[in-house]
Each structure stands twice: as C-alpha cells, then as structure tokens.
Amino acid sequence: MAVTAESVVDLCRRARAASHDLPTVPGEVKDEALRRTADLLRERTPEILAANLTDLERGREDNLPASLVDRLSLDATRVEAMAVGVEAVIALPDPVGEVRQERTLPNRIHLVQVSVPIGVVAVFYEARPNVTIDAAALCVKSGNAVLLRGSSSASASNAVLGGIVREAVAAVGMPEGTVEVVGGGDRAELAELAGQREYVDLIIPRGGEGLKKALEEVAKVPVLYAASGNCHVYVDADADLDMGRAIAFNSKVQRPSVCNSAETLLVHRDVAAEFLPQALAELAEAGVELVGDDATRAAAGATEVGAATEEDWDTEYHALKLAVKVVESLDEAIDHVNRHGSGHSEAIVTESQEAGNAFTRAVDTACVYVNASIRFSDGFEFGMGAEIGTSTQKLHARGPIGLRELTSTKYVLHGSGQVRG
C-alpha cells in the first residue's frame, strides 16, 4: 500500500474530526481493531519483509550507519514481536474513563476526575518500523487519532505497516482518520506538520538529537520528547563484582544501537584494580571499542583502551563503543551522571542499601536501577504492552510512554441545583 499523497493539512483535519468521535468508541471495538492488526501482521509477514528489504537495500546504497541499519531491519521474529506487543496492549485495561479521583465537595457537588484521550497525537520517528505499530496500537487503545511520520529511510516498511492498521481500524467501523500515515518527506514537511496547532494536540518525537533540534526550531505544537539515551552503569565500592561485570556487559552489548544501552561505565577507585581487567577484557572480546581516563587505562591490564576525550562523556554512540571512568566516590559518580546523562536510564551496582538509596534519590533520570541492567527500560518490560518511546523530560510524562501517558483528564461534576454565592 502506498503512502497517501494527500496534503499534511488534509490528513490533520481528518485526524481532528476522528478525535471528536474516538472517546465514545467502546473498548471492545478498539480491541477488535487491534486483534485484526495482530492477525494481519502475521498473515502479511512476507509482504512486510519484502518492503523492508527495499528499505534496507536503499539504506545500504545511501551508506546508512550500521546502528541505523540494525534499527531499520525486520525479520520474522521482529514482526512476530510486533504482533505480540499489540496483543499485550489488548490485554491492558482501557485507560479512557479511568477514575483518577472521586469525592463529594462541602457544597455536596460530586466531583470525579476521569482519564480522557489527548486528541490528535503526531509521532515522529527515525528508522524504526516497529514504532509504526507500537504507536498506532497505543493511540487506538487510548482513543487518540494518530499521525505517523516515519523517516524516508523506512518509507516502504512504514507504508505497509501503516496500511495494515488502517485496514484493521476501518474493518471495525472506527472513524476515518483514526490512523494517518504522513509521507516522511523533507524538513519542510516536518515543519508544516509541527506547526498544525489548530489540529494537533501533541507531538512525540522518537529519535536522536538531530530530530529533537529540528523540532525545537519549528514546533508550535507541544512536544513530549522521547529522545536520546546517554546512559551509565556505576560499579560502587561495595558492589558484587561478578554482578557488576554481568550488568555492564549486558547493558552495553545486548543491543548497542538502542537508547537504553550503556554509553559510559563508572567504577569506584577502591575496586577498579580488581574489577576492570576482567570486565574490560570481556567487553573487548565482544567487539566493544573502549576509551577511558588515565586511571582506567592504567588498570586495564592487557586490554587496549584508548584515551577518552571530554566529548566522549557526552556521546551516545549507538554502537559497540564504551567510555570508562574511575571515580573517587559515590558523589562523584552521581555528579558525573547528572552533568553528562540525558535523563533516560542509569544504574548502580552495590551491596550497600545506603549507597543504592542515595543514588536513586540523587540522579536526575526517568529510570534508575539498583543491581539490574538498564536494558529493561522498555514499556513492554514494564508491563505497559508497548511504548512510543521513553520521555526524558518531566511534563506531562516521564519514562516509557504507554497508554496512561497518552491520556489527559477531565473533571465531571454532578450537583443538585447548587449556585455559587
């Protein structure tokens, strides 16, 4: 299915019209649309993979970085994971109408605060076809109309995936305009969509700092950023060192191209000489390029470690590269995280409850772990079914953006003739 050639304004108008009807669509109808989506993903896997191959071939011709190619790539397992994710969203409670608070006021008016859809959500994303399905599923379930604007590098994949959701939504009689696919064109198109304040209520970008900066320059619609992940693992003086090695390795190597992969390893000086030689050797053996400060290089043993620059502490590599620093104290580790981290995910490895509590209180981040890999920062892993991304800001949502984060609230008040004097 080709992406529509309609204008951005036409798509936005249709989404706005749909958003007026979506809050009244029964939960079972939304779930049936999602059930059909999961079924179609499985039935049309060959078509999806053929479209993805077109994108991959074009990406290799355009010399896309390996990290982008990894995020762009689909196979039968990843398509099945999309379908399973949709089914997980079906299994979650419908957030529309959820009672947030309820009480009777002194004037005997009964107040109920309930969850309602945000309205029209535009999702911008780069080289991740699965976001087409995740975002559409979450918006359908939460009663929002969604405008899907992927990158041109995934245009063939996104067209097929978006067409599958649109077909499923239409089959159950949901409003036209519930799911719209925007072409993924140039910066002018991005700016036009980001300026549709009359029709769009919220923009959620899922991508790197380049996308974030591009939107900051042109957006007139409120933006909930799901952007970069410059994440850290800190191995404390009181850490179980075998656990520290396993967590550092998994946080970097399990899937280095994603935003919840570790980019910096911090190690307390008291354990550096014992911890680093084996940890660095294991990382290097897995193909990780290592850079570090002078103390790290001195403790590295036979493993080659390049000299880290100040720029390395602020870099999200999206690749098998890791910066390593020896710190004098827990406070220095916290200070480093807060100065260089992006507010996504951070971890401490320690047997000290006091140190763990201090770290979780002091680091400024959406997700913080004690003795676990940061690779768990994910809506599916958090029991949210799926996510559009992880918000690294504080308003209106922080952390994985799931169903509840795609709602606002409304106060409903019932009286018996009260008037205010």
Domain count, the chain: 2
Residues 163, 235, single domain; the answer is no
Looking at residues 254-277, what average pLDDT do you find?
96
Closest by CA to 256, choosing from 162, 335, 319, is: 319
Among 51, 96, 89, 87, which Cα is nearest to 409's? 96
Same structural domain, 143 and 215: yes
Whether 405 is covered by a domain: the verdict is no
**Is the confidence at residue 27, as pLDDT, over 90?**
yes
Residue 335: is its pLDDT beyond 50? Answer: yes
| Single residue among 164, 197, 227 that ends a domain in this structure | 227
Asked, for residue 406, whether it belongs to a domain, the answer is no
Q: Where in the sequence is the domain holding 365, given as residue range(s)?
A: 231-376
Using the predicted structure, report yes or no on whether residue 1 has a pLDDT greater than 60: no
402 assigned to some structural domain: no
User: What DSSP character marks residue 152?
Assistant: G
Q: What value does the mean pLDDT take over residues 2-6?
A: 55
Are residues 220 and 105 part of one domain? Answer: yes
Query: 190 and 239 in one domain?
Result: no
**134 and 214 housed in the same domain:** yes
Tell me if 264 is assigned to some domain. Answer: yes
Grade residue 213 by pLDDT with cuts at 50, 70 and 90: confident
Query: Is 200 in the same domain as 347?
Result: no
pLDDT at position 400: 93
Q: What average pLDDT does range 352-377 have in this prediction? A: 98
Q: Is the confidence at residue 245, as pLDDT, over 50?
A: yes
Same domain for 48 and 155, yes or no, is yes
Question: Residue 227's pLDDT is what?
Answer: 67
Alpha helices in 254-410 (DSSP H): 269-285, 294-299, 330-340, 353-362
Residue 195 vs residue 127, higher pLDDT: 195
Q: Does residue 319 carry a pLDDT above 90?
A: yes
Q: In whole angstroms, what is the distance from residue 217 CA to residue 212 CA?
A: 9
Compute CA distances 282 → 181, 240, 277, whole Å.
Answer: 44, 17, 9
Residue 5: how many other CB atoms lie within 10 Å: 7
CATH number at residue 126: 3.40.605.10
Domain boundary among 227, 246, 274: 227
Does 384 score more than 90 pLDDT? no
Q: What is the pLDDT of residue 185?
A: 65
H helical segments located in 121-207:
129-141, 155-171, 187-194
- Render the burial of 167-199: b for 16+ CB within 10 Å, e for the rest: bbbeebebbebbbbbbbbbeeebbbbbbebeeb
Q: Are residues 221 and 235 in the same domain?
A: no
Count of CB atoms situated within 10 Å of the CB of 306: 13
In terms of domains, do 292 and 274 share one? yes
Length of the chain as a residue count: 421
Q: Evaluate the CA torsion angle 325, 330, 331, 335 in order and state its sign.
A: positive
Per residue in 145-202, pLDDT (tens digit) is 999 999 889 999 999 999 999 999 999 999 999 999 998 667 888 899 999 999 999 9
394-402: average pLDDT? 91
Tell whether 22 and 139 lie within a shared domain. yes
**Confidence (pLDDT) at 187:** 80
**How far apart (Å, rounded) are the C-alpha atoms in residues 421 and 413?**
18
What is the average per-residue pLDDT within 292-299?
98
User: Region 350-379: what's the mean pLDDT?
Assistant: 97
Residue 61 belongs to a domain = yes
Strand, helix or coil at 402? coil
Does some domain include residue 392? no
Task: Please check whether residue 382 lies inside any domain of the structure.
Answer: no
301: region left, alpha or beta (phi > 0 left; psi from -120 to 50 alpha): left
- 214/264 same-domain check: no
List the CATH number of the domain containing 321: 3.40.309.10
Q: Write out the E strands in 62-177.
A: 99-104, 110-117, 120-125, 145-149
Q: Which of 336, 358, 376 is the last residue of a domain?
A: 376
Using alpha carbons, select from 342, 47, 115 the residue that is nearest to residue 212: 342
CA distance 74 to 130: 8
Residues 56 and 188 in one domain: yes
Q: pLDDT tens-digit profile of 78-125?
A: 999 999 999 999 999 999 999 999 999 999 999 999 999 999 999 999
